[in-house]
Structure 1
């Protein structure tokens, strides 16, 4: 699991830039009708890469775009995988085609070609198909909306995908007035995630990603964004239900051990750099032609999705953001 400390050690990028990158990937993912798992796998690849390499601002969006490309080739059918020309257009011609191929090699070698990852979407499919009932589409759509919210913010990074999906489904059942699934809220960590989501909507509901809200306001997602936001704007909050006691003794939670401090290095360098050494001043030997950015229970993606023009390509420059 990626360490929170890895972003804190980066010299140029920070947590305030993460929401903008995730929003960009959500746009592209939705536009190409890619499978739900792909978005989560792409973010996971970005996080693992950032935890092992020094990443400079001008390459952050390139890394995210290539991570989505790798995830699409791993998870989806060939016909829906974006082409190199699509990738260039995604970044508004900020990078040449060779930059994407080059970065693909750096990312794959850095994560040691380890692509398989049990995403929150995968766990949601398992949870919704087991137990006393199969959840109705609206409940699943609300849970997906909540899970994608967790991709944007630092406080959710430390939790495993299995707990993210369980907490999202438990809160979804509450919002949709469905019987509570006790297995989804039986651990302290799961309740922590649920409380974080509940607080995020109650206190910051007006500051959610407009792209994500627009996506889940579409009819193909049962317009659940409107449903959830209205609940919280009207003062609604999650209310815990008393769970009957059981005879078995719960297993005590084991605190997460602090991840070892990572030595970061530049994307183009095959050997690790020590940030404290003089070699740190030699950043990256990128070609001069590369310029910064300027401008499983899953149904197939329905054709009623918003059109390709949903992608605006008019977002602020990633490297000039101070607040996101």
Structure 2
């Protein structure tokens, strides 16, 4: 996927803005009790859209919400799909209803209506059943680690199957389970080491929303377990295979040279990528880059993306409640127990 290079070619949105958007989407996804697959499909749609279109800061949150809306319609039960009025509410009326509807059509056209995607969650479910059923704590730790990968650029280039395997491998290691060395491919170990390095060096910078989500007993307090493991100095250790025994060498009077393999060039390792095509001009398309005047563009010198939300801080959720019985995220419509966000919006 050319997502990494395409993001680098965006004039306004930058990689440091991605965690802000992902955190907002994680919170919105949890609020509406959507399936795990929906979250991964949402980010897959966002990444594909960003790789094909110029996106300005003022529309970054709108793109994320439209992607979540599309993914929910594809993956979830109809009654759980957010309404456009709810999306307007959670974005603090930054966009009107027509903006969400237009952006939905624009995103679908850009990704050519290709929605079927084997998500990391789908791969993880399969891996947790074969060759044996993983215990709930291992599954919850793996899901926590998988959601961390949604936030950072180093994981975007890996396929969903590798993300699931790497997350499960590190989860099993942290939970003290036996190593399955036949699964530890080089790609899997790269993901494990990216996660391990980020947790070891930047554990305090993890998303507060994600930490809260996975700190419930319902999720085996996976976030608390992982954070404490790394604060105590825990690190992943690669398995080192013992050296193979030497093969006896038959003495010979003549020395025969070994044929050399053809060398390869590194020309295809260049980071240079074709310029991301900009949106063609359509006067009816408010999201096309060429349809915007210079006055509409954000300040390029110090761009900043901050999803707009309504929040009310709530401390110390009672542990006896399941996550959806007591939502700690603190949106104004969610501070009461057992109240549906849909009922509050209406």
What TM-score does the superposition give when structure 1 sets the normalisation length? 0.81
Residues 207-227 of structure 1, C-alpha deviation per residue, up to 9 Å, x if partnerless? 100000000001111101000
Pair 95,148 (structure 1): closer, same or farther in 2 beyond 3 Å:
same
- Give the match for residue 51 of structure 1: 51
- Give the match for residue 135 of structure 1: 134
Larger radius of gyration: 2
Pair 87,245 (structure 1): closer, same or farther in 2 beyond 3 Å:
farther
- Give the match for residue 28 of structure 2: 28
- Equivalent residue in structure 2 for 1:212, among 210, 213, 238: 210
Range 254-263 or range 213-222, more displaced? 254-263
- Give the match for residue 175 of structure 2: 176
- Give the match for residue 305 of structure 1: 323
Could you list the runs of 5+ residues in structure 1 that have no partner in the other structure? Answer: 247-253, 287-291, 296-302, 315-324
- Give the match for residue 300 of structure 2: none
Pair 106,15 (structure 1): closer, same or farther in 2 beyond 3 Å:
same
Q: How far off is 1:280 after superposition? A: 8.2
Pair 269,207 (structure 1): closer, same or farther in 2 beyond 3 Å:
farther
Q: How far off is 1:260 after superposition? A: 4.1
- Give the match for residue 223 of structure 1: 221
Q: Give SS of 1:129's match.
A: coil
Partner Cα separation in structure 2 for residue 224 and residue 210 of structure 1: 14
Partner Cα separation in structure 1 for residue 123 and residue 323 of structure 2: 24
Q: Is the 8 A contact 1:266 1:284 kept in 2?
A: no
Q: Give SS of 1:107's match.
A: helix
Partner Cα separation in structure 2 for residue 274 and residue 55 of structure 1: 8
Pair 269,139 (structure 1): closer, same or farther in 2 beyond 3 Å:
farther
Partner Cα separation in structure 2 for residue 232 and residue 225 of structure 1: 11
Residues 94-131 of structure 1, C-alpha deviation per residue, up to 9 Å, x if partnerless? 11111110100000000000001111111101111111
What TM-score does the superposition give when structure 2 sets the normalisation length? 0.76
How many aligned positions are there?
289
- Give the match for residue 93 of structure 2: 93
Pair 155,225 (structure 1): closer, same or farther in 2 beyond 3 Å:
same
- Give the match for residue 254 of structure 2: none
Coordinate RMSD, CA, aligned: 3.1
Q: Which has the higher contact order (CA 8 A, sep 6+)?
A: 1
Could you list the runs of 5+ residues in structure 2 that have no partner in the other structure? Answer: 245-265, 298-305, 310-320, 333-346
Partner Cα separation in structure 2 for residue 158 and residue 52 of structure 1: 16
Partner Cα separation in structure 1 for residue 218 and residue 140 of structure 2: 9
Partner Cα separation in structure 2 for residue 284 and residue 53 of structure 1: 20
Pair 108,274 (structure 1): closer, same or farther in 2 beyond 3 Å:
closer
